């Protein structure tokens, strides 16, 4: 099992970053119990689901009606026996249910209470709705993505949700270590916007150093340099060129038979006046052959040049295939858990041994009276 074996996590049903965070914890071996709502899932909750929901893999699930007193009492009991609670409601919702941090930490002082929202628990926008592009836009990352002269565009990678999920997993893990040492849990206030902003630290250091400017596409880092750009191939594919260091730049020119061309010989790699003409020549060179051709050309060339794969192709990448970096279920392909642990490996395809929720409640110490009250009420 994974390194978080025997860590009990309660995940309050939500969208996006919350379920992704729970998935990551489950992938690391935690026992994740999803507290779902009665009735049919909303269209928004199912929009990413075809045959299976990868975000709910390896989780147990129970429906609780939090408008019913016995169900709230049961949930309080479960929280008291757990290590982590993840909730992604708007600020104040859990308090109105009587399940806020103060109440939960009073009954379970070691609890790690993880709160996930778009903008954070406080501030003028704490109650304001938002989606991934809104949060990414606030950080500057969206502005600096895209081509010169065109509106900025965010790729459909859900950068904000993924950032918040990954950092919240790190935060929960750190808080668990602290709770183990001190006996005291704590509240984590994770804002998607702030987590995304934190992950722009490296990019913003380039900005502060003048390597990125407010002129999108005007610097070497965002496409102006011919040796750090993406090119179209004859079959409509794309090749990504990131030959930044001089040795990679030289390998790029050699593979393209341009190492003796006057346009490149007479201008250094950092001669910005030559970049537009050089860019045009590289574009013409790549457009003359297919993506497969150029992939073969650069396969053994240490030039940092590679094909841009689609989501449907990425699992076929030879490195991913060799390391089994994807898993398949019912014909659908999803990324495997990362990073890898040498002593406690865990597979995304592993299932919980016991899906009988009543038996699970008994095993963790829920009283028979609470279980009976839960079963008797809708």
Q: Which of 254, 278, 257 is nearest to 267 (CA)?
A: 278
- CB atoms under 10 Å from CB of 296, counted, come to 11
Q: Give me 15's structure tokens.
A: 């969208």
Residue 227 vs residues 207, 262, 289: alpha-carbon distances, Å: 19, 16, 18
Q: Give me 337's structure tokens.
A: 């858990």
Beta bridge partners of 113: 85, 187
- CB atoms under 10 Å from CB of 340, counted, come to 11
Q: Which H or E run contains 27?
A: helix 17-27
Distance from CA of residue 210 to its chain's centroid?
Answer: 29
Instruction: Just list the catalytic residues.
Output: 131, 161
Measured CA to CA, the distance from residue 232 to residue 242 in angstroms comes to: 15
Cis peptide leading into 339, omega within 30 of 0? yes
Contact 306, 27 (CB under 8 A): no
Q: Give me 131's structure tokens.
A: 């989606």
Q: Which of 121, 46, 136 is nearest to 87 (CA)?
A: 121
Q: Which residues of 124-158 are buried (b: 16+ CB within 10 A; e: fewer)?
A: ebeeeebebbbbbbbbbbbebebeeeeeeebeeeb
Measured CA to CA, the distance from residue 71 to residue 64 in angstroms comes to: 6
Measured CA to CA, the distance from residue 116 to residue 91 in angstroms comes to: 9
* Count of alpha carbons within 13 angstroms of residue 5, beta-carbon side: 10
Contact 109, 175 (CB under 8 A): no
């Amino acid at each position: 099992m994974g390194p978080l074996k025997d860590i009990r996590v309660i995940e309050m049903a939500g969208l996006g970053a919350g379920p992704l965070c729970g998935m990551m914890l489950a992938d690391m071996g935690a026992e994740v119990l999803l507290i779902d709502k009665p009735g049919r899932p909303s269209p928004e909750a199912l929009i990413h689901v075809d045959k299976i929901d990868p975000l709910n893999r390896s989780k147990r699930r129970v429906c609780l009606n939090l408008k019913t007193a016995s169900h709230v009492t049961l949930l309080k009991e479960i929280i008291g026996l757990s290590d982590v609670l993840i909730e992604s409601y708007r600020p104040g919702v859990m308090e109105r249910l009587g399940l806020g941090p103060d109440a939960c930490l009073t009954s379970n002082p070691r609890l790690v209470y993880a709160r996930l929202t778009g903008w954070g628990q406080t501030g003028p926008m704490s109650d304001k709705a938002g989606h991934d592009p809104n949060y990414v836009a606030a950080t500057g990352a969206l502005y600096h993505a895209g081509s010169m002269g065109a509106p900025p565009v965010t790729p459909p990678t859900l950068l904000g949700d993924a950032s918040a999920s990954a950092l919240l997993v790190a935060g929960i893990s750190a808080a668990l270590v602290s709770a183990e040492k001190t006996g005291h849990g704590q509240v984590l206030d994770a804002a998607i916007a702030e987590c995304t902003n934190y992950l722009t630290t490296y990019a913003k250091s380039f900005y502060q150093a003048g390597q990125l400017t407010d002129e999108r596409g005007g610097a070497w880092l965002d496409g102006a340099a011919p040796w750090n750009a993406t090119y179209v191939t004859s079959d409509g594919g794309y090749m990504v060129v990131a030959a930044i260091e001089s040795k990679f730049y030289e390998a790029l020119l050699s593979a393209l038979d341009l190492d003796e061309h006057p346009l490149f010989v007479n201008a250094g790699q950092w001669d910005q006046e030559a970049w537009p003409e050089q860019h045009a020549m590289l574009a013409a060179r790549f457009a003359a052959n297919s993506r497969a051709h150029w992939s073969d050309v650069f396969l053994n060339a240490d030039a940092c040049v590679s094909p841009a794969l689609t989501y449907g192709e990425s699992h076929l990448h030879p490195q991913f295939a060799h390391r089994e970096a994807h898993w398949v279920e019912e014909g659908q392909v999803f990324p495997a858990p990362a990073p890898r642990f040498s002593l406690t490996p865990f597979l995304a395809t592993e299932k919980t041994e016991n899906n009988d929720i009543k038996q699970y409640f008994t095993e963790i110490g829920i009283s028979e009276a609470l279980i009976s009250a839960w079963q008797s009420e809708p």
